Amino acid sequence: MSLPTIPLLIDGKRVESKSSQWRDVVNPATQEVVARVPFATTEELDTAVASAKAAYKGWRNTSQANRMRVMLRFQQLLREHTGELAELITREHGKTLPDAEGEVGRGLEVVEHACSVASLQLGEYAQNAAGGVDVYTLIEPLGVCAGITAFNFPVMLPCFMFPLAVATGNTFVLKPSEQDPSASLRLAELALEAGLPPGVLNVVHGGPDIANAICDHPDIKAVSFIGSTHVGTHIYRRASEAGKRCQAMMGAKNHCVILPDADREQAINHLLGAAFGAAGQRCMATSVAVLVGEAREWVPELVARARALKVGPGTDRTADLGPVVSKQARARVERLIGAGVEEGAKLLLDGRGHAVKEAPEGNFVGPTIFDEVTAEMSIYRDEIFGPVLCMTGVDTLDEAIAFVNANPNGNGVALFTQDGGAARQFQNEIDVGQVGINLPIPVPVAWFSFTGSRASKLGDLGPNGKQAILFWTQTKTVTARWQARGTGPAGVNTTITLK
């Protein structure tokens, strides 16, 4: 039986790639090869961009009302196909079905926000700003835009990009992760079914060569990237040097600070979920717990409850976490765990070699907890991207803030406390872009921007919210004077003064 092949999506049609380079798409829970994905040729990328460029002429002049109606239909289709999308995510990524359904829900939030494009894309107007002169701004699309996404959220991350981009009048080329492309492709097909004209949204697959070609292509005006720091830094530099607008949301080392007055049950539950959900494969996962003062006494309970978490295939709805995405990912996580032991961290819970009876071939790593971790250790410096929690203890909130601020990354941080004064001090003094108070993963709702900072972000505008509208549009200012009939200029004006 031949394996299904993942098509490209160009000019509104599925296109079988002519590439000679293909990659197996593997179910990480079973090692079953479920499909083959092409690494598109540069000619195929050129065709996709040409289609988007041709479609832009008509799409940018489509009324806001009609673009909004497409988004309204798209959000309805997302609701209707949540189960289908979640199954594709679980099959190729490995996360549990409930987590995959939650991912579709977070993507849906962005599409719902894009339904408000008619009020989001408003300019400004000043009547009679000077004598008989009106000044106003037009919020216009850029043209052909592109997005490059990571494997860990094959639906949510594309939703962080193309819905607002196309709703504001741009056309788009999406390059999803080659590790789990099916859900991203299906998402794009639903957008076309919702009424996007052919060419407005295209999908190409591939690796570094296609990513570089996207950065270099003269007809692409903006590039959005979400993924690792190493790749994101390269994409940002290359796209910027080619004159493109670029945003790159990159790696993280997210901390959770727990004060001893916090609600113990709430804090432990949230910390475990944020550290081990999706097997730790989230850029917003909590990978470091900073326990302040007497909160250190909670460590035995935290370890015992982590040990009780159920590891299993994502299709098991009772599982708390599934496999990591690949054998290579599992090997890397286990190598870093070994490095932590060698560097002197105290290994309280070891997830290496975790066996799951019903899925013996899966890429499983069990919940892993280190204590007495220092800032010099590789398990603290590196983003592990697996179910590994590092813990350290400090005596005061001031020490905790200083410890977090010394880390170069700034994606997210959380504080658990019942002290409003401590929470206010924390949010004012912490140098991290997204802060959670009694909330472990502070990704805001979609009408607020994703505001990771420092080494976690390149570019001054992030996805979602007002910042995304600014990123996907450009402002044109018009200064106009219409002379009343029968009146003429008062004379030649050779100054810069508006008279």
Tell me: do 394 and 471 sit in the same domain: no
Distance of CA 16 to the CA centre of its chain: 28
Active site residue 246: no
The answer as to whether 144 is a domain residue is yes
Tell me: do 353 and 305 sit in the same domain: yes
With CA atoms as reference, report the closest residue to 397 among 419, 422, 424.
422
Other beta carbons less than 10 A from residue 478's beta carbon? 11
Tell me: do 138 and 225 sit in the same domain: yes
The answer as to whether 287 is a domain residue is yes
CATH of the domain at 400: 3.40.309.10
Q: Which helix (H) or strand (E) holds 475?
A: strand 473-481
The answer as to whether 489 is a domain residue is no
Are 293 and 396 in contact by the 8 Å Cβ rule? The answer is: yes
The answer as to whether 490 is a domain residue is no
DSSP state of 225: E
The answer as to whether 442 is a domain residue is no
Tell me: do 192 and 267 sit in the same domain: no
Tell me: do 220 and 274 sit in the same domain: no
Tell me: do 237 and 297 sit in the same domain: no
Report how far apart the first and last C-alpha atoms of the chain are (Å, whole number): 79
Instruction: Report the pLDDT value the prediction gives residue 483, as an integer from 0 to 100.
Output: 80
Instruction: Report the pLDDT value the prediction gives residue 427, as an integer from 0 to 100.
Output: 98
The answer as to whether 455 is a domain residue is no
Task: For 43-84, give the secondary structure using H, E and C.
Answer: HHHHHHHHHHHHHHHHHCCCCHHHHHHHHHHHHHHHHHCHHH
Tell me: do 17 and 84 sit in the same domain: yes
Tell me: do 278 and 423 sit in the same domain: yes
Tell me: do 244 and 211 sit in the same domain: yes
Are 449 and 469 in contact by the 8 Å Cβ rule? The answer is: no
Are 121 and 64 in contact by the 8 Å Cβ rule? The answer is: yes
Tell me: do 74 and 199 sit in the same domain: yes
The whole domain housing 222 covers: 8-250+464-478
What phi, psi does 18 have (nearest 5°)? -95, 15
Tell me: do 329 and 472 sit in the same domain: no
Q: How far is CA 108 from CA 155, 163, 309, 460, in A?
A: 9, 10, 29, 25
Residue among 115, 145, 159, 283 flagged as catalytic:
283
Tens digit of pLDDT at every position of the chain (499 positions): 689 999 999 999 999 999 999 999 999 999 999 999 999 999 999 999 999 999 999 999 999 999 999 999 999 999 999 999 999 999 999 999 999 999 999 999 999 999 999 999 999 999 999 888 999 999 999 999 999 999 999 999 999 999 999 999 999 999 999 999 999 999 999 999 999 999 999 999 999 999 999 999 999 999 999 999 999 999 999 999 999 999 999 999 999 999 999 999 999 999 999 999 999 999 999 999 999 999 999 999 999 999 999 999 999 999 999 999 999 999 999 999 999 999 999 999 999 999 999 999 999 999 999 999 999 999 999 999 999 999 999 999 999 999 999 999 999 999 999 999 999 999 999 999 999 999 999 999 999 999 999 999 999 999 999 999 999 999 999 999 988 776 666 688 888 888 7
pTM passes above 0.85: yes
User: How many domains, the chain?
Assistant: 2
The answer as to whether 343 is a domain residue is yes
CATH of the domain at 215: 3.40.605.10
143: left (phi over 0), alpha (psi -120 to 50) or beta: left
The answer as to whether 184 is a domain residue is yes
Q: Which helix (H) or strand (E) holds 235?
A: helix 229-241
Q: What is the dihedral of CA 347, 353, 357, 361, to 10 degrees?
A: 150
Tell me: do 205 and 270 sit in the same domain: no
